[in-house]
Structure 1
Amino acid sequence: MEPLVDIVIEDDRWQAFGLETLAEPAVRAAFAELGLPEAGFTLCLMGCNDARILELNGDFRGKAKPTNVLSWPSEERGADAGEVPDLPDPGAADDPESLGDIAISYDTCAREAAEAGKPMADHVTHLIVHGLLHLLGYDHIRAVDGDLMESTEVRILARLGLSDPY
């Protein structure tokens, strides 16, 4: 089966950590929970560091600080308050639908996992799922949408045997 996730490593610590081994199962679990087929979609996940994500956060969100994960959906897929976003249709096997791009910072992930006393792999898996849901139109700007996004994340993580991160 073709990989769903194109991995771009900008910080070698992600290679040693095994970002790719976490990404595929996380995305596949999310697709299963949402009823999306595994074939016909692709996305890009970039593993970077705080310096790079700081630059991206400044450029795209106007925020002068690093963050754990950023996402850039290929299309606007938002929904009305509290509604599940319209999910995309898959592309052809030789021309999959691009969902967009996600960037994740090693430094911030490692720090947050240590502060929360949880395995970094669990935290990174959660953030991959979180970023993917943003690509699919979920957000947490309004409280009702945040509740929907969090409950969806919890169900996806449960499929992977991970506990509620909230």
Structure 2
Amino acid sequence: MLPTHRSPTDLQVSDPLGVPGAPQETWGAVQAHLEGAGRAGGRLILVTDRQGDRQNAAYAALVVQHGQAVIAAPAFGPRYGRPGAEALAELVHWAQERNWPVRETVLNPSDFVRVLAEPDAEEVGRLIAASNPTDPGIYTTLPKLKPVDEDGWDEA
């Protein structure tokens, strides 16, 4: 039996998880939401506003499984310092442990915040369609980050 085609409007899209810019809180929200989720049939799509600039990239996560989609707030990646880079690596490892494909899509900066804050099924369908396969290793290798001074400000 051939699988049936699902249109983007068939997707059930949950409210976004986590807090923008808060990597550990957002990663914890994703883990809590997906606790007990089956291992089969899922995929992880990383959504970023940068192409070719991974050192400064912010990522949100789109998890799709069995016709349901959930977006995690943009809180992953080097833009959010070491905690953001570590949360991104943990998220990708988590997907790999489930044999889920890891994909990436780029949104232009003007749409990045809007689409991720209030996603609808049609926009999520476009994110899925625009995603491309990616090498998970580029997200699990922690980058060298700029040093931060004692007050938490980047050094010039």
Q: Which has the higher helix share?
A: 1
Larger % of strand: which? 2
- TM-score, length-scaled by structure 1: 0.27
Give the alignment's TM-score, normalised by structure 2: 0.28
